[in-house]
Amino acid sequence: MTVKDLVRRARKARDSGKWNEAYDAYKAALDAADPVPSTSQERAELTGELGLCELALRKYRDAAEHLTWSLEQGCALTDEARLRFEMGQAKAAFYVIRLLLSVDPPDAEVFIDGKSIGPIARTYKLFLEPGQHMVRTRAPGREDALQMVRAEASAEIDLSMQLTRAAPRSAKDKGPAAPEPASASPAARPQAPSPWASWPGTLRIGGIAVTTATAAAGAVFLLRAHVVHGNLREADVVRRQQGWTSHTCREATAPAACAGIHDQVNQRDLFATLGKVSLATSAVFGVATAASFFTEVAVFGSAPRATSVRIVPVTTSERAGVLLEGAW
């Protein structure tokens, strides 16, 4: 069966909602396209369509990898395909951990949970299932480096691992090493009292923690609302192709599926409201925490160490928060 025949079969299964059959056909088409001279556009589209099938089958890690690779091909995709793949990639990333890994030296081999990740590179963009993972790197003449990674879904981690050179071993070093006599550790020097030791400092720590937590929760709620909204929009396109109109669910003989649609709409609105409230709460706590630095002189009669504290709101497509710059 040719690549065109496999693609035609995959599209037919996809349009019918037979995602397992579509997944098998797209995977076979991609495997068949690799050995022959195929255009970059064909490989990018096949990989992206395979990722959308994996997303529908809840294979979120594989979907994120394939959709990300497809989108990195740039102008090889059409505008319509790029839009669909970007929406799918955003949904898949919500359920996985995104690990941006850099290694030195660049010829080091990387293992995740004991399994090699494949071709050697200096930097990697990896997607992992939520939870705990062990990252190990090794290279000739270097000491192995180990790093434990633990995160929840939708987290993004930047990790840099540098392997130190292995110490040369002499003939004497090959034998068992004699135990070294234990020595008394030097007496610890008294530390100056921390500016956080007082109860105002404790309240500031709590204020920063609440600010960060509410900002993170708001970002998660808004992202969840975006995902639900995207699902509603895709489903609406399919229903309109089936003859639905904007008044179908308002009629007395409305289909039973309308109840599920209303539930999704309510869920989207709820997540959006919770996200906005959480971000607003984060801003209030952030301003209150910053204001405590300026009121310390009037209340306690002591001047803060810094001449000023700057508040910088930080907001991206995946997280939001407040950055405090200064010394206290």
CATH number at residue 140: 2.60.40.1120
Q: Which domain holds residue 115?
A: 97-162
- Supply the Cα-derived Rg of the chain in whole angstroms: 27
Q: Cα 190 to the chain's mean position, in Å?
A: 42
Mean pLDDT, rounded, for 54-73: 93
Mean pLDDT, rounded, for 193-205: 56
- Element at 137 (helix H, strand E): strand 131-138
Same domain, 89 and 106: no
Same domain, 85 and 121: no
Residue 168 domain flag: no
List the CATH number of the domain containing 63: 1.25.40
Distances from the Cα of 34 to the Cαs of 29, 31, 46, 216, in angstroms?
9, 5, 11, 42
Same domain, 128 and 222: no
Same domain, 79 and 119: no
DSSP labels, 16-80: TT-HHHHHHHHHHHHHHHSSS---HHHHHHHHHHHHHHHHHTT-HHHHHHHHHHHHTTGGGS-HH
Mean pLDDT, rounded, for 270-293: 79
- pLDDT of residue 136 exceeding 80, the answer is yes
Residue 242 domain flag: yes
- pLDDT of residue 16 exceeding 50, the answer is yes
- Residue where a domain terminates, one of 35, 63, 93: 93
**pLDDT per residue over 282-303, tens digit each?**
788 777 777 766 665 455 454 4
Provide the token pair at 313. 């709101």
Same domain, 79 and 125: no
Most confident of 52-61, 97-106, 108-117, 184-193: 52-61
Position 306 scores a pLDDT of 44
Same domain, 220 and 277: yes
Residue 194 domain flag: no
- Say how many domains are in the chain: 3
Q: Which pLDDT band, with edges at 50, 70 and 90, does 248 fall under?
A: confident
Position 185 scores a pLDDT of 45
Of residues 270 and 225, more confidence is placed in: 270
